[in-house]
Structure 1
Amino acid sequence: MKPFAKLPKFVKNYYFLFGSFFLFWMLFVDSNDFVSQISLKQKKSSLESQKQYYIEKKQEVLQDREELTTNQVLLEKFAREKYLMKKSSEDLFIVVSED
């Protein structure tokens, strides 16, 4: 008895075999397979959320920059807090908390 005798006739068809092989190849073996597409979509959504975060941070920085260029009091406060700048007649004390 032949091993392929019990298979239905359409399974032995050349076009069915080629189509099945092609479908298997495109879904699992190809460089653009199904699993790769899913991981790329996840990475794309992650990058888009990062992009949105950086756009918001850019807006905050631009707003702070605008405020610093127009307000001298705020500019002095920023320089003292961020860069520890002081006037020549002042003493600077840095308090470090142990939390």
Structure 2
Amino acid sequence: MSFFYNLKKNPFFKILTNIFVLILIPFLIWMLFFDDNSYLVHRKFDKEINDLENTVSFYEKKILEDKKTIKDLQDSLLLEKFAREKYLLKKENEDIYIIEFDTLKK
């Protein structure tokens, strides 16, 4: 009997038995884990948004690089150089030698 009497005098017990706390705790658990708009779902969406933003920035950089390449290819000498390096095109009566270096460390 004294155990329950001492328990009731404990301030922590008084707080936990408050009706508002008894309603608030299940509500918070529900909102954090089980609801359609739960914290876990929001974290997943935030991660997906960050991934998409990184993808957008990557493609924006690639677009800028391609625009620079297109601008450079307006010059006929650079166009010829690009075609030779990228597509291994050659002039008539010309031989091409491709030298590959082994980049793996042994």
TM range (shorter): 0.7 to 0.9
Whether 1:73 and 2:77 are equivalent positions in the alignment is yes
For residues 15 and 38 of structure 2, the distance between their equivalents in structure 1, rounded to whole angstroms, comes to: 30
Q: TM-score with structure 2 length normalisation?
A: 0.70
- Structure 2: 5+ residue stretches without partners: 1-7
For residues 11 and 35 of structure 1, the distance between their equivalents in structure 2, rounded to whole angstroms, comes to: 29
**Per-residue deviation, 1:19:** 4.4
Contact 2:83 2:89 in 1 (8 A): yes
- Structure 1: 5+ residue stretches without partners: 1-5
User: Identity percentage over the alignment?
Assistant: 35
Q: TM-score with structure 1 length normalisation?
A: 0.74
Per the alignment, do residues 89 and 21 of structure 1 end up closer, same or farther by CA in structure 2, a change over 3 Å counting? same
Per the alignment, do residues 12 and 72 of structure 1 end up closer, same or farther by CA in structure 2, a change over 3 Å counting? same
The counterpart of 1:52, out of the listed 52, 57, 75, is 57
Out of 70-79 and 34-43, give the one that drifted further: 34-43
**Per-residue deviation, 1:8:** 4.7
Contact 2:15 2:21 in 1 (8 A): no
Provide the secondary structure at the position in 2 that maps to 1:95.
coil
Per the alignment, do residues 8 and 55 of structure 1 end up closer, same or farther by CA in structure 2, a change over 3 Å counting? same
Provide the secondary structure at the position in 1 that maps to 2:91.
coil
For residues 12 and 53 of structure 1, the distance between their equivalents in structure 2, rounded to whole angstroms, comes to: 54
- Matched residues, number: 95
